[in-house]
Amino acid sequence: MRVKRKMGPVGEFIFAIVFLVAGCGVIYLMGSDFTLVCHRDRNACTIEETNPFKDKEVITTLQLSDIQKAEVAEWRDSKGKSSYRPVLLVDGTRVPLSDVYNGSYSACSKTANKINAYLQSKEADFSFTQSGKAPAIIGIIFAAVGALLILRFLWKVLKLMLRLIVVVAK
């Protein structure tokens, strides 16, 4: 015969905190938008990061004339699975557009192609944003579940306290 074990209130609270922290961590670490902004008349390109938990931050500023091309960088994990991210080739050094690797080679290749098309064109300005919305949505879902579980725990504690007050008052 199998005995079902229920998680106690402290276990539920810890579980809720883990969900909340994990969700916020995903948003903080992977939910950033990275924007490349170039101005041909100023010969300047900046890479900016926007995150719900941080102020807008300029990651790096480059001379437009120093950018040779954009390409896709590959990284392999211990199991041999590849992840990709677009990078700028500047004086032989790879400058990543974001901290996050992507599982889609084609998306990174399209980004590199857009940047290369701008570099070869005479267009004055260029702006491209690599969105971190998908990880941010996953993080929001985890954080929301954690917050709801915490509210459920607090509601149970409040009901228990009210019952105790009623019993003591009798």
d(CA 76, CA 63): 30
pLDDT band per the 50, 70, 90 thresholds, residue 130: confident
Instruction: Quick: pLDDT tens for 6-43.
Output: 777 788 889 899 999 999 999 888 888 899 999 999 99
Whether residues 18 and 40 fall in one domain = no
Q: Which domain, by its residues, includes 2?
A: 1-31+132-160
End-to-end CA distance of the chain: 43
SS3 46: strand
- Residue 130 structure tokens: 């690599």
Structural domains counted in the chain: 2
Residues 37 and 26 both lie in one domain: no
170 within domain boundaries: no
Q: Measured between alpha carbons, how far is 47 from 86 in angstroms, rounded to an integer?
A: 12
> Does residue 95 sit in the same domain as residue 13?
no
d(CA 87, CA 96): 4
